[in-house]
Amino acid sequence: MVVNKRLEKLLNTEGPLLAPSLLAADFTNLAAALAKVSGADALHLDIMDGHFVPNISYGPAIVKQLRPLWDKVFDVHLMVKHPEAWLEAFADAGADIFVFHLESTDHAHRLVQEIKKRGMLAGISLNPSTPASCLEAILPDLDLVLLMTVNPGFGGQSYIESMEKKIAEVREMIHKTGKKILLQVDGGIKEETITGAAKAGADFFVAGTSVFKADNPEAEIEKLKLRARGVK
């Protein structure tokens, strides 16, 4: 698969990756919010439909309007039923990574193939209660796995520390494939929790409240990356 320059840069970046979650930003001035996190590796876009999760966020029209304002990767996380129905719209809106929940569709392999045909990285997310073993059949086809460290649907929740065992399990599964597959975590990621997730094997971190609500979001991004590297 041929990737665009944004993805190429992301995939060649050394060290932990960090993507602020737009859900925690000030929606009255998104342009200013994006300017405050320009040092991030990607922007995480949480798409909620009010059915798969009990909340509604925003859709492809907003993502398309944001595309000219952000020259890095758009990491789109679909917390929706029937994510395949949204594939074309988010591809057209400028998504670079398309992540859907394994629990949300009956035809995960087909959707992964269709995502890649459109030049995007394909990712699958698991809810906290979904076992890692569910990934076994499809893992070699993925570019990214997103493990939720909170139950999806709302920002600002507390990190579920017991998920670190699952992170370590998936990291070992990825190692056995012999492939470069990003292992992302999302939920309650802050300075106090990112080190544990990193030690367990995560290499791509989503942080919403801890970044956008910080006095200095850019400095907070750097602090988080240092903590992920084990630097206090």
- Residue boundaries of the structural domains of the chain: 5-228
pLDDT (0 to 100) of residue 157: 77
Q: Which two tokens stand for residue 154?
A: 């709302």
Task: Give the C-alpha distances (Å, rounded to integers) separating 215 from 19, 84, 103, 158, 201.
Answer: 18, 38, 37, 20, 29
Which 3 state secondary structure label does DSSP give 162? coil
* Beta strand residue intervals within the chain, DSSP E: 17-20, 42-48, 73-79, 97-101, 121-126, 144-148, 182-186, 204-207
* Residues annotated as part of the active site: 46, 186
Chain Cα centroid distance, residue 151: 14
Spatial distance between the Cα atoms of 112 and 209, rounded to a whole number of angstroms: 30
CA distance 21 to 46: 7
In CATH terms, 5-228 corresponds, of 3.40.50.300, 3.40.1260.10, 3.40.228.10, 3.20.20.70, to 3.20.20.70
The closest of 201, 216, 211 to 228, measured between CA atoms, is: 201
pLDDT at 231: 87
Which pLDDT score is estimated for 152? 79
pTM reported for the whole predicted model: 0.96
Q: If phi over 0 gives left and psi between -120 and 50 gives alpha, with beta otherwise, what is residue 187? A: left
pLDDT for res 3: 79
- Please list the ranges in the chain whose pLDDT falls under 70: 1-2, 154-156
Task: State the DSSP code for 147.
Answer: E
Q: What is the pLDDT of residue 1?
A: 65
d(CA 11, CA 129): 29
